[in-house]
Amino acid sequence: MVDTNILLDWLLDRDINRTKSIDKLFAATKELHVPDVILVELAFALEKFYEIPRSLVSDNLHKVIDEPIFNCSRTLFQRALTEYSEHPLWSFLDCCLLNYAELQNVLPVWTFDKKLINQSNKRAQAPNV
């Protein structure tokens, strides 16, 4: 399993020695698990900490989910990335949440996030209690 820092080093080449170690790891391993939470954290770090534009965040996330060595929730993240590109006001987490709920057949997502409610085609709704 890999953590967010491994992926950040791999994508951003932050340290040449670590990048070499990561390349060796990838060459010696048949499969590495990437938990969903790591990809969400990766998107957040790229966008908020490194201030990378959304289009490049999306490109970097595609690089991860398209890499055959990684075992990850590809269907979820491919769908989430499509919406992430289509809805610039939504966070990557919002996109993942809506698609996770849809894939698990547990819609609607109950929320008080008005923008998400208004733009999600009733996939997100406010509780009326």
The one-letter code for the residue type at 98 is L
- Count of structural domains within the chain: 2
**What pLDDT, in 10s, does the model give residues 92-124?**
999 999 999 999 999 999 999 999 999 999 999
Same domain, 3 and 28: yes
Please, which residues have CB within 8 angstroms of residue 41's CB and are 6 or more apart in sequence?
Answer: 4
pLDDT of residue 43: 98
Same domain, 65 and 2: yes
Exposed, middle or buried: residue 42 (CB in 10 Å: 0-12, 13-18, 19+)? Answer: buried
Q: Is the pTM of this model over 0.85?
A: yes
**What pLDDT, in 10s, does the model give residues 74-98?**
999 999 999 999 999 999 999 999 9
pLDDT of residue 129: 66
Same domain, 65 and 97: no
Same domain, 59 and 77: no
Of 45, 70, 95, the one marking the end of a domain is: 70
Same domain, 61 and 112: no
Same domain, 81 and 125: yes
Same domain, 111 and 64: no
**What pLDDT, in 10s, does the model give residues 35-44?**
999 999 999 9
Domain range enclosing 4: 1-70
Q: Cα–Cα distance between 128 and 110 in angstroms, integer?
A: 10
Same domain, 62 and 106: no
Same domain, 12 and 44: yes
What token pair was written down for 127?
A: 């509780």
Q: Cα–Cα distance between 125 and 113 in angstroms, integer?
A: 9
Q: DSSP assignment of the chain, as one string? A: ---HHHHHHHHH---HHHHHHHHHHHHH-S-EE--HHHHHHHHHIIIIIS---HHHHHHHHHHHHH-TTEE--HHHHHHHHHHHHH-TTS-HHHHHHHHHHHHTT-PPEE---HHHHHHTTTSEE----
Same domain, 66 and 121: no
Same domain, 1 and 57: yes
> Stretch 70-74: mean pLDDT, rounded?
97
**What pLDDT, in 10s, does the model give residues 9-58?**
999 999 999 999 999 999 999 999 999 999 999 999 999 999 999 999 99
Same domain, 80 and 104: yes
